[in-house]
Amino acid sequence: MLHLPRRPRRNRRTAAIREMTQETTLSLSNLIFPMFVLEGSNVKSEVKSMPGIYRFSLDTLLEEIREVTDLGIQAICLFPNYPEEKKDKRGTESYREGTLYLNALNEIKNKFPDLTLMTDIAMDPYSSDGHDGYVENGEIVNDISVEILGKMALAQAKAGADILGPSDMMDGRVGYVRGLLDAEGYTNVSIMSYTAKYASAFYGPFRDALDSAPRFGDKKTYQMSPANAREALVEAQLDFDEGADFLMVKPAIPYLDIIKLLHDNFDIPVAAYNVSGEYAMIKAAAQNGWIEGERAMLESLMSIRRAGAKAILTYFAKEFALAQNG
């Protein structure tokens, strides 16, 4: 027999011991469920590249929210799908009184006052150019974009949002939005900044869901290069100094090192977006029988938590809730 003073397997011997010594926990309270709203009534349209994820008209969306809150989901992030005829260069539909998205936020908050309601702040769902900022002569113009995003943010706060999610990656937008919110008395509305949002290949299914792909070029002049890590510290310091309440990394699994980097360097919560492409890959592999879907889901979400994310936006939230309840 080997004489070993330390045998790590002793702490793995039974399920009870493994649970006792588990370092990282994952619960529904860590998850935010992204959801999609579109115009019409009695609509529930599956996103083909995201099995199990749907676009809802407001009436069916409210029914779905009732179901997911009954499962224990405490937070959602809502994204709008607008028809092309509602889009223009300045994304004016994003802050127009009576528009679909603002009405949906208001209805959700009235019917589910205890639900944490997060929004998206970017021009691409409303822009005829399909970019996250204002386009002039083929260039995304930062400061004009920030002014438009500010109007959008204030309108969403008035509609009842709890957390605003600037996903645009324009310089200075967190401080500008924080200033507007505070000046108008919305000091309790939080900002979850998309701090390190990478120019990633994993966003394709999401753009299918919103019909919001860029009409020209790409988003590399404002989203970060996948090669860069230290740049995330620069972005995070700026967002922290400008008043962000959360720092988000997007995507999640290819950027676990960035999640940990921000977690280790900033004393505010770090969030991560487990994006559409990450979801679609697991779903496709599971449907082909190549992996065990539920185990892969749990392992991937746990890895994001282990890296340091307190909040995870994930399309697996409902599936996780069903697994926990089942």
Residues 142-177: tens digit of each pLDDT: 999 999 999 999 999 999 999 999 999 999 999 999
Reported as a single tens digit per residue, the pLDDT across 85-127 is: 999 999 999 999 999 999 999 999 999 999 999 999 999 999 9
Reported as a single tens digit per residue, the pLDDT across 272-312 is: 999 999 999 999 999 999 999 999 999 999 999 999 999 99
Angle of the 293-307 helix axis to the 256-265 helix axis, nearest 10:
30
| Closest residue by Cα to residue 39 from 214, 210, 204 | 210
Whether 209 has a pLDDT exceeding 80, the answer reads no
Torsion sign over Cα 216, 221, 223, 228: positive
Give CA–CA dist 313/260, Å, rounded. Answer: 17
Residue at 145 is within a domain: yes
- Give CA separation, 232 vs 190, 252, 261, 307, in Å: 21, 14, 8, 15
CB distance 300 to 26 below 8 Å: no
Residue at 14 is within a domain: no
Average pLDDT, the chain: 94
Give CA–CA dist 66/103, Å, rounded. Answer: 17
CATH of the domain at 36: 3.20.20.70
Residues in CB range of 16: below 8 A, 6 or more apart = none
Q: Which residues are catalytic?
A: 197, 250
Whether 206 has a pLDDT exceeding 90, the answer reads no
Neighbours of 128 (CB within 10 A): 16
**What's the pLDDT at 220?**
86
User: Using 50, 70 and 90 to split pLDDT, how confident is the model at 196?
Assistant: very high
Give CA–CA dist 165/49, Å, rounded. Answer: 24
Residue at 312 is within a domain: yes
Average pLDDT of the residues in 227-231: 97
Whether 216 has a pLDDT exceeding 90, the answer reads no
**What's the pLDDT at 38?**
95
Angle of the 58-70 helix axis to the 100-111 helix axis, nearest 10:
40
Residue at 68 is within a domain: yes
User: Using 50, 70 and 90 to split pLDDT, how confident is the model at 217?
Assistant: low
The residue segments making up the domain with residue 53 are: 25-325
Is 235 annotated as a binding-site member? yes
Residue at 98 is within a domain: yes
Residue at 13 is within a domain: no
- Give CA separation, 224 vs 170, 195, 218, 221, 309, in Å: 11, 10, 12, 8, 19
Q: How many domains does the chain have?
A: 1
Residue at 277 is within a domain: yes
Average pLDDT of the residues in 66-79: 97
**What's the pLDDT at 199?**
95
Residue at 19 is within a domain: no
